[in-house]
Structure 1
Amino acid sequence: MIQVAQIIFILSVLVILHEFGHYITAKWFKVRVEKFYLFMDAGFSLFKKKIGDTEWGIGWLPIGGYVKLSGMIDESMDTEQMNQEPQPWEFRSKPAWQRLIIMLGGIIVNVLLAWFIYTTMYTTVGKKYISTEVLQEKGLAFGEVGQKAGFKNGDKIVSVDGEFQENFNRMVMDILFSSEVIVNRNGQNVTLNLTDQQIKEILDKEGRNFIGRRTTSITIDSILPNKEAKKAGLKVGDSILAINAKKINFFDEFISTLKSQKQDSVTVTVFRGAAQKDIRVKVDKKGELGFRVKPTVKEDFLITKKMGLFEALPAAIKESWSLLVYNVKSFKLILRPATGAYKQVKSPIGIARQLPDAWDWEFIWNFTALFSIGLAFMNLLPIPGLDGGHALFTTVEMITGKKLNDKAAGHVQTFGMIILLTLMALTFGKDIYQLIADKFF
């Protein structure tokens, strides 16, 4: 329920402010706003109240919201008024440049919101990120798919497309978007170029977990029930030193050694208390013993940089711009079917499932800023039915001096809405299916 509450709160903030951008610019140019709705009121609304010319309401379907402007074919698909003579207060009666500003109003507010949130966060809790330099000090560890793509345990990232990314989480994304990755391997620089098929395997099988810190400490954090580690007498707190008298320096070496000894027994040397102890343990068919190690504490690699207002303002602008660039790169990756990136697109249901179980204001505001830029980018796309589609036709009108007639505009809007509703149905369906599968299968 906490996850649901968080996504509803975030969506409410974003939708209200996005639509307010359209509302306030429409009011500036004396356009009548007939409706202002949070969420969609298909068939009926949960709440509505008319104040002046505007009906304010909350719909039952949490997939967005809208403002209905007089004299405009929009999400409501109300074309009846378009058969009447244009009135001075209608959207269609205004100059093209005013209509363009109204269309871009929501996008502008989304960008300003992200800028405001990041400025506030940087001046209060500070800018926080996982340091790539600190985390990969002893090298990086890669999953099977990452190694298959050409990475090797111990590699250090030198650059991705010619640049070094100080934020480790961003660096992982950069690799998936990259044309060229240069790693330092045993003192030598090695160039890697990921193929679409390799990216697909990473996304399908390991995701962000295909790369991580190379762990040197192997301390048992928990023993799994009915597994070989418990039967053999391994205990929580034991530190693994060697396998079959071979010293183990990194956790990935420990894993690879076990994989090569499937269904055999190995002698594990552990440090317990103040002494070393050799324990004979059988390796199961998966190449595992049956325990979990202590997880990496992200705070060990966390950089916190608190800023004054005049430093935070440009830093927040830079961050907002970077996120917009990442959205462009993500979209380009989605348009490459061979990568399978389109499968990663999520509906609010899928997004909610990734949110933390506890209410965390710092996380929520950071996620809201991230989502706000994503919403701005999505609405910039020149797709009929989105703000970007309206803005495109208005821009063409300003250049050519020719306006799309109302009938054609209606057909274009209908086509755009069909595309959007189809995409929404597919993403919602996928996430609902996944939710059910995770619960019952």
Structure 2
Amino acid sequence: METILIKALQLILSLSILVIIHEFGHFLFARLFKIRVEKFYLFFNPWFSLFKYKPKNSDTEYGIGWLPLGGYVKISGMIDESMDKEQMALPPQPWEFRSKPAWQRLLVMVGGVLFNFILAIIIFSMMLFVWGDEYLPLKNVKDGMVFSETVKRNGGFQDKDILVSADGKELVLGRGVLDMNTFMHFIDAKTVTIVRNGKQMELTLPESFADSVIASKQVAYEYWSAPVVDSVSENSEAKRIGLIRGDSITALDSQSITSQLGIQKYVTRISNKLGDNEKHTLTITFYRNGEVQTVSAAIDTSGVIGFTSSTKMSDIFSKKNMQTDHYGFFESFPAGINNGVATLKGYVAQIRFVFSKEGVKNLSGFAGIGNMFPAQWNWYAFWSMTAFLSIVLAFMNILPIPALDGGHIMFLLYEAITKRQPNEKFMEYAQVGGMLFLLLLLLVANGNDIMRIFFK
């Protein structure tokens, strides 16, 4: 329960910062062009508000709503989520949005997206200044990777291949804060450079490689870990059957095993087929002191044997493998811009998979986003996620969907090109249609979260 609460608090604080900054972008440009802003709200407030305050001699009411699905600024003379038809039926006033030139209205609508991207750059820059950029070149992982069956079949990879570069660009874990690009560089590459059995070589990937990896829903690669017992948990099945440190597992139920991940996958596949109170007798073959031995373990739906691998993550992420780039205050800003652009490119590259059958199934709602935050409060992780979500919010809002900023921008560009405004009735219908589409997307994403919780 404590873990859920910590993740929820981080999510709420992060989204609150992003919403306030986004809406402030709209607010600032509106006030700059002397457009009246009637409301500035964090969260939505249908029927009532948790807090509201209107300063003396101000046209703007500031408040906090009870529905934490975003926020809004209500700008006079604009068809938005408020659907204020009465105001729009009156003659245009000088202080209204609709009375201003198209270029001013365009800047008002771009303001939210612009401020979210600027926020991400500032966060990235300050993180680099305070913590530096620590990353792991994957070529330093001397035991290599274990790959999914799809990656091995379609790309020609083998377990324990060491990843070096993709299309000549070094593959690293950690650079760019959230490391969105490493995976995309890998699956989108035409050629990947690897080291296999001490020799460097190139693999040419087919054009369908990325689509096949995404459709498989399998983790493309993970660090290889030895199928060798390091420690055994007390009161576990491994303890009962007599496994000890140093036992090297070679097969499960006569099927060859080459990594700890292979053990996990096989046992999970068996346990997922079991019903309540059912058990599977698992035959484990291993080497001990140069001799082959066999024991039988009882596996239930938990899929737990009870031992850890001799390969330690602390060894992989040791100081000798890691590299850190340090930045001065002024140096951090160009690097922060690079991180922001790289994160945006990585996200845009992935978004194409959303518009597929498998992509829709992988959509995540608030629970999925919340799970991306750590179980313990960590400011580095918090700001990393906030910067990433700021990029996501900026990109999603610029999409040409009515009810989003991008929808308004699309209509304003139409007006700038044709020199005439779209029909107000059409704008109202488009706004309603866009809101219904976003609501449907919200239901699908959060429905996916519920399905994962109860049917994982």
Query: 1:109 corresponds to which letter in structure 2?
Result: F
CA distance in 2, matches of 1:331, 1:63: 21
* TM-score (ref. length: structure 1): 0.85
DSSP 3-state at the match of 1:280: strand
1:23 to 22, 27, 30: 27
When residues 13 and 253 of structure 1 are mapped into structure 2, their CA distance, relative to the original with a 3 A threshold, is closer
**Retained in 2: the 8 A contact 1:32–1:53?**
yes
* TM-score (ref. length: structure 2): 0.82
Give the equivalent residue in structure 2 for 1:272.
none
1:190 to 182, 186, 203: 203
**Retained in 1: the 8 A contact 2:163–2:171?**
no
CA distance in 2, matches of 1:391, 1:267: 64
CA distance in 1, matches of 2:454, 2:260: 34
Give the equivalent residue in structure 2 for 1:309.
329
**Retained in 1: the 8 A contact 2:249–2:287?**
yes
When residues 382 and 178 of structure 1 are mapped into structure 2, their CA distance, relative to the original with a 3 A threshold, is farther
CA distance in 1, matches of 2:231, 2:84: 62
Give the equivalent residue in structure 1 for 2:243.
234
2:365 to 347, 350, 362: 347
**Retained in 2: the 8 A contact 1:159–1:165?**
yes
DSSP 3-state at the match of 1:431: helix
Map Cα deviations across residues 351-386 of structure 1 (whole Å, 9 max, x no partner): 112321111111101110011011111011111111
- Are positions 1:115 and 2:121 aligned together? yes
Deviation for aligned residue 1:178: 4.6
CA distance in 1, matches of 2:103, 2:51: 34
Give the equivalent residue in structure 1 for 2:313.
296
When residues 154 and 434 of structure 1 are mapped into structure 2, their CA distance, relative to the original with a 3 A threshold, is closer
1:426 to 434, 438, 444: 444
Deviation for aligned residue 1:216: 5.2
CA distance in 2, matches of 1:277, 1:290: 23
Give the equivalent residue in structure 2 for 1:401.
419
CA distance in 2, matches of 1:77, 1:176: 44
DSSP 3-state at the match of 1:239: coil
Give the equivalent residue in structure 1 for 2:112.
106
- Are positions 1:199 and 2:219 aligned together? no
When residues 395 and 267 of structure 1 are mapped into structure 2, their CA distance, relative to the original with a 3 A threshold, is closer
Query: 1:328 corresponds to which letter in structure 2?
Result: V
CA distance in 2, matches of 1:240, 1:335: 47
- Number of equivalenced pairs: 416
Map Cα deviations across residues 114-139 of structure 1 (whole Å, 9 max, x no partner): 1111111111111123322222x332
Give the equivalent residue in structure 1 for 2:338.
318
CA distance in 2, matches of 1:190, 1:418: 46
CA distance in 1, matches of 2:262, 2:92: 75
Deviation for aligned residue 1:329: 0.8
1:173 to 184, 187, 210: 184
Query: 1:198 corresponds to which letter in structure 2?
Result: S
Root-mean-square deviation over aligned CA pairs:
3.0
- Are positions 1:361 and 2:371 aligned together? no
DSSP 3-state at the match of 1:383: coil
Give the equivalent residue in structure 2 for 1:132.
138
CA distance in 2, matches of 1:20, 1:382: 21
Give the equivalent residue in structure 1 for 2:354.
334
CA distance in 2, matches of 1:352, 1:76: 28
Deviation for aligned residue 1:53: 0.9
**Retained in 1: the 8 A contact 2:42–2:65?**
yes
Give the equivalent residue in structure 2 for 1:64.
70
Query: 1:358 corresponds to which letter in structure 2?
Result: Q
CA distance in 1, matches of 2:257, 2:449: 41
Deviation for aligned residue 1:221: 3.2
Of all paired residues, the percent bearing the same amino acid is 37
When residues 341 and 129 of structure 1 are mapped into structure 2, their CA distance, relative to the original with a 3 A threshold, is farther
CA distance in 2, matches of 1:5, 1:384: 31
CA distance in 2, matches of 1:226, 1:361: 36
